[in-house]
Amino acid sequence: MMQHDSHVLFTGTSGSRHHGRPGLSHNQTVSTGKDSVRIVPLGGTGNVTKNMFVYEYRYDGKLRDILIVDCGIGFPEPEMYGVDLIIPDIRYLEGKKDKIRGLVFTHGHDDHIGGIPYHFGKLGGMPMYATKLTAAFANLKLKEVGVKDRVRTVSYDDKVIAGPFRISFIRLTHSVPDTAHLVIETPVGIIYHGSDFKFDFTPLDGKLPEINKINHWGRRGILVMLTDCLGSERAGMTASEQVVGTTLEKELTHARGKFLFTTQSSNISRIQLAIELAFKFNRQVAFVGRSIDQNVEAAKQIGYMHFPAESIIRDRDLRRIPPHKQFLIVAGSQGQPYSAMTRIANDSHRFIRVREGDTVVFSADPIPGNEVNVNSLIEELYRRGARVSYSDIMEDLHVSGHGSQGDLMLLLSALGPRYVFPIGGTYRHLMQYKRISQELGFDPQRILVPEEGEVLEFRHGTRPRIAEHIELENVMVDGLGIGDVGTTVLRDRQTIAKEGIVVVVVPMEQSSGRVTAEPDIISRGFVYLKDSGEIIDGAKAVVARSIRLKKGKIVDWAFVRKRIEDNLASYLNKKTGRSPLIVPVIIEV
């Protein structure tokens, strides 16, 4: 069996700097026949967000080493009342911390890095790696929660060695700079991890996708390519970021009052473009919202943004600037509750009011699941008198960071992998990817579409197989609570939202355990008490019968509560056709 070291970082193509023991030589990655590598998707397959992939090396069936790629967040569905975000379910990794050799991030979007503050402690403090901007964004999140460990910065010429895994980096373009695809050399073959990308040959930052590296690895031979497939329904190539500048300039030409610009806070290149256009039109720039402030500051510190500090004003100082001189770059393009954009739209921001003649530009499309929030935001802004521009009514205010069919097929052709595993899309995107790749001549039997929870295993010289099924659940974050909102709590919230709540208050004498008066009924979101006297009187009678189980003292209150719930639920449903949440409360007097 091979001997595996932990974490060695090779820089460039000559020389090395070591963190630990010497690395594996190239001939040590040859399969012995007992080696296998498993891909365990904990998020990012069959859904767009919550990306997290686990790569396992096994020898003779025994788990030896783990490499993790990304640890992102997901966004709650509209019916997930009160839930702030969703993080990957990492129960599969319990008891395996000593096997984790490292975590590598592909790019700086929250659905790829946002889960790390919640999971870092549980994962055992493993080394983390990312390109410069991605590391800066991830470190901001770690710092916020008091984690002292930091993501190590790598360049595109570095190699990271984590046990038997040798990771190389390829620059790709996306809607955030410093996006990387990963080439993972393993004992059973080379894996290409191609998360979110497009081929932009005129990027705003001038840093082109590294086609030469893609061709190089294609010639080496790729066992399996994981690939972004979110844009598989769009024909052609995804447009360059440059087109956004042309459209934004036209919007500024017609703007009379304040100009509010919102995009994803991590889209640093587009924010830089907006700043330059604001200066061109003699407007002063203000950053509005915590995520914008933090990301811009982090990007500026490492040289990814450039503007004179004196040209930026604080939102509290806007009152001394005429509206037609203001250019506000605002966080909250996805309509997040309590974001700066949402507070402005609801007229509850401390310093900013939208009025007749102002212009609001959305330079971002809703992430799937956020459509309702974004549409509500646009409605409110219209009601305030703003002129609102967004993708549904105007082209080229936003271009996707995800490759269309042309981009996807270009990557497939350049790499020529033996197997393809489309990721980062819903099931319909996976199926569409399968169709267009077949049209290119790719064997449909070599396109792998595992269901959620299915673990793929690769061995040298054999077809991949489903080695295991694991149970995955949504881990919901609500305020300070992580994972304490489960299906039962969520179901109760959904019931309250749809049917209302009925609280039954039963007064009990503390010393004797006897009921001292008739029960009281409190209704919220179910029926209006003043207009529903007959129903409420009937409900009180049902409760009274439910607690008349025996003479004298009531001992088993748990049984009584359940009896109240069942009997009252049956009565109320019969009378109203509704099924509110029923909460019996015993008050000791």
Clarify whether residues 506 and 454 are in a common domain: no
Clarify whether residues 442 and 351 are in a common domain: no
Q: Tokens in use for 29?
A: 């990655």
CATH of the domain at 537: 3.10.20.580
Structural domain boundaries enclosing 577: 500-588
| 349 part of the active site | no
Domain end: 370, 389, 408, which one?
389
Clarify whether residues 405 and 436 are in a common domain: yes
Please give the Cα distance from 424 to 138 (Å, whole number).
20
Please give the Cα distance from 551 to 559 (Å, whole number).
16
Mean pLDDT of the chain: 87
Clarify whether residues 582 and 449 are in a common domain: no
CATH of the domain at 367: 3.40.50.10710
Query: Is 279 inside any structural domain?
Result: yes
Please report how many Cα atoms fall inside a 13 Å half-sphere around the Cα of residue 422, on the Cβ side: 29
Clarify whether residues 174 and 248 are in a common domain: no
Rounded to an integer, the average pLDDT of 315-342 is 93
Query: Is 9 inside any structural domain?
Result: no
Q: Tokens in use for 540?
A: 């009180």
Clarify whether residues 319 and 194 are in a common domain: no
Lowest mean pLDDT among 278-282, 326-330, 494-498: 494-498
Query: Is 1 inside any structural domain?
Result: no
108: closest CA among 358, 347, 298? 298
Q: Which of 65, 111, 200, 228 is catalytic?
A: 228
Alpha-helical regions (H) of 440-532 = 487-499
Rg (CA), the chain: 28
Query: 366-379, pLDDT tens digit by residue?
Result: 877 778 889 999 99
Q: 15 CB contacts (<8 Å, ≥6 apart)?
A: none
Q: For 2-59, what is the HEC assignment? A: CCCCCEEEECCCCCCECCCCCCCCHHHHCCCCCEEEEEEEEECCECCCCCEEEEEEEE
pTM of the full predicted structure? 0.82
Domain end: 422, 446, 478, which one?
478
Query: 181-220, pLDDT tens digit by residue?
Result: 999 999 999 999 999 999 999 999 999 999 999 999 999 9
Query: Is 488 inside any structural domain?
Result: no
CATH of the domain at 125: 3.60.15.10
Clarify whether residues 193 and 254 are in a common domain: no
227: closest CA among 421, 418, 43, 68? 421
The dihedral through the CA atoms of 403, 406, 410, 413 has a sign that is: positive
Q: For 519-585, what is the HEC assignment? A: CEEEEECCCCHHHCHHHHHHHHHHHHHHHCCCCCCCCCHHHHHHHHHHHHHHHHHHHHCCCCEEEEE
Strand order across the beta sheet in which 224-228 lies: 7-10, 159-162, 165-172, 179-186, 189-194, 224-228, 419-423
Query: Is 23 inside any structural domain?
Result: no
User: Which SS3 state, helix, strand or coil, does residue 458 take?
Assistant: strand
Query: Is 13 inside any structural domain?
Result: no
Domain end: 414, 448, 478, which one?
478
Strand order across the beta sheet in which 259-262 lies: 312-313, 284-288, 326-330, 259-262, 359-362, 387-389
- DSSP letter at 402 equals S
- DSSP letter at 190 equals E
Alpha-helical regions (H) of 71-207 = 110-113, 116-119, 132-144
Query: Is 27 inside any structural domain?
Result: no
Query: 404-443, pLDDT tens digit by residue?
Result: 999 999 999 999 999 999 999 999 999 999 999 999 899 9
Clarify whether residues 224 and 322 are in a common domain: no
| 402 part of the active site | yes
Q: Tokens in use for 545?
A: 């019968």
Question: What is the number of domains present in the chain?
Answer: 3
Residue 266 clears pLDDT 90, i.e. is over it: yes
Higher pLDDT, 232 or 49: 232
Please give the Cα distance from 285 to 299 (Å, whole number).
17
The pLDDT assigned to 3 comes to: 42
Clarify whether residues 299 and 183 are in a common domain: no
Q: Which of 7, 112, 398, 402 is catalytic?
A: 402
Query: Is 296 inside any structural domain?
Result: yes
Please give the Cα distance from 172 to 183 (Å, whole number).
13
Lowest mean pLDDT among 67-81, 102-116, 287-301: 67-81
Clarify whether residues 532 and 456 are in a common domain: no
Clarify whether residues 152 and 211 are in a common domain: yes
Clarify whether residues 404 and 308 are in a common domain: no
